[in-house]
Chains A and B, each alone.
Chain A
Amino acid sequence: MTEHQAQLRAEGRLDEPVQSQRGALDRRRKRGGRRRRDEHQMVPDATFTSYYGRPVVKASPWEADIPAYLFLGGLAAGSSLLGAGASLTDRPALRRAGRISALSAISLSFAALVHDLGRPSRFVNMLRVVKPTSPMSVGTWILTGYGPLAGIAGAAELLTPVAGRLPAGLRPPVRLLGRLAGPAGLGAAVVAPAVASYTAVLLTHTSTPTWSAARKHLPFVFVGSAAAASGGLGMLLAPVSEAGPARRLALGGALLELGVEHAMEASMGITAEPLHTGTGGALLRASKALTAFGAVGSLLGRRNRVAAAVSGAALVAGSACTRFGIFEAGQASARDPKYTVVPQRERVERGETSGA
Chain B
Amino acid sequence: MPSLSGPLPDPAADAGWEQAQPRKGFFTDTSVCIGCKACEVACKEWNGVPDDGFNLLGSSYDNTGALSASTWRHVAFIEQPRTPAANTVSLGMPSTVKPGEAMSPDSATDFRWLMSSDVCKHCTHAGCLDVCPTGSLFRTEFGTVVVQDDICNGCGYCVPACPFGVIDRRIGEQGQKNVGIAQKCTLCYDRLGAGKTPACAQACPTESIPFGDLDELRERAAARVEALHAQGVESARLYGESPDDGVGGSGAFFLLLDQPEVYGLPPDPVVPTRDLPQMWRHAALAAAGLLAGAVAAFLGGRG
Contact = CB atoms under 8 A, between A and B. Distances in A.
Contacts of A52: 57, 59, 62, 264
B245 A356 contact: yes
Given A12-B58, A215-B278, A241 B283 contact: no
A205 B303 contact: no
A216 B174 CA distance: 39
Interface in A65-87: 77-78, 81-82, 85
Contacts of A148: none
A131 B135 contact: yes
Given A119-B152, A119-B153, A356-B269, A61 B162 contact: no
A353 to B, nearest CB: 5
Interface in A164-223: 189-190, 192-194, 196-198, 200-202, 204-208, 211-212, 215-216, 219-220, 222-223
Contact of A88 (B289, B298, B302): B298
A215 B282 contact: yes
Contacts of A134: 130-133, 157
Interface in B266-303: 266-270, 272-273, 275-276, 278-280, 282-291, 293-298, 300-303
Nearest to A131: B133
Given A81-B294, A348-B267, A51 B164 contact: no
Interface stretch (B33-41, B74-82, B212-220): B74-82
B46 interface: no
A137 interface: yes
A215 B279 contact: yes
B223 interface: no
B263 A135 contact: no
A136 B291 CA distance: 22
Contacts of B198: none
Given A118-B169, A348-B267, A356-B246, A58 B130 contact: no
Contacts of B282: 200, 215-216, 219-220
Contacts of B295: 85
B50 interface: no
B128 to A, nearest CB: 10
Nearest to B272: A205
A140 B133 contact: yes
Contact of A58 (B4, B168, B250, B262): B168
Given A205-B161, A207-B160, A353-B246, A18 B135 contact: no
Interface in B238-264: 239-240, 242, 244-247, 250, 259-264
A211 B293 CA distance: 25
A49 B301 contact: no
Contact of B291 (A50, A81, A89): A81
Contacts of A50: 261, 264
B286 A223 contact: yes
Contacts of B261: 48-51, 56, 337, 341, 345
A200 B286 contact: yes
User: Which secondary structure dominates chain A's binding surface?
Assistant: helix
A59 interface: yes
A197 B286 contact: yes
A226 interface: yes
B165 interface: yes
Contacts of A197: 283-284, 286-287, 290
Interface stretch (A24-32, A33-41, A242-250, A311-319): A242-250
Interface stretch (A121-129, A155-163, A275-283): A121-129
B78 A1 contact: no
A132 to B, nearest CB: 8
Interface string B169-183: 110000000011110
Q: In the A-B complex, list the 8 residue pairs whose CB atoms are closest, starting with the nearest.
A: A118-B154, A118-B180, A51-B264, A244-B303, A122-B153, A193-B287, A219-B286, A137-B133
25 contacts: A12-B58, A13-B58, A19-B80, A54-B66, A55-B165, A57-B162, A57-B266, A60-B160, A62-B156, A118-B155, A136-B131, A196-B286, A201-B283, A204-B279, A205-B273, A206-B131, A207-B127, A207-B165, A207-B270, A207-B272, A208-B160, A219-B282, A219-B286, A341-B267, A348-B268
Given A51-B78, A354-B242, 15 more contacts: A12-B58, A57-B164, A58-B168, A59-B160, A60-B159, A61-B168, A117-B153, A133-B4, A134-B132, A197-B284, A208-B160, A219-B283, A244-B303, A248-B296, A253-B293
Interface of B: 1, 4, 57-60, 62, 65-66, 76, 78-81, 109-111, 127, 130-136, 151-157, 159-170, 179-182, 239-240, 242, 244-247, 250, 259-270, 272-273, 275-276, 278-280, 282-291, 293-298, 300-303
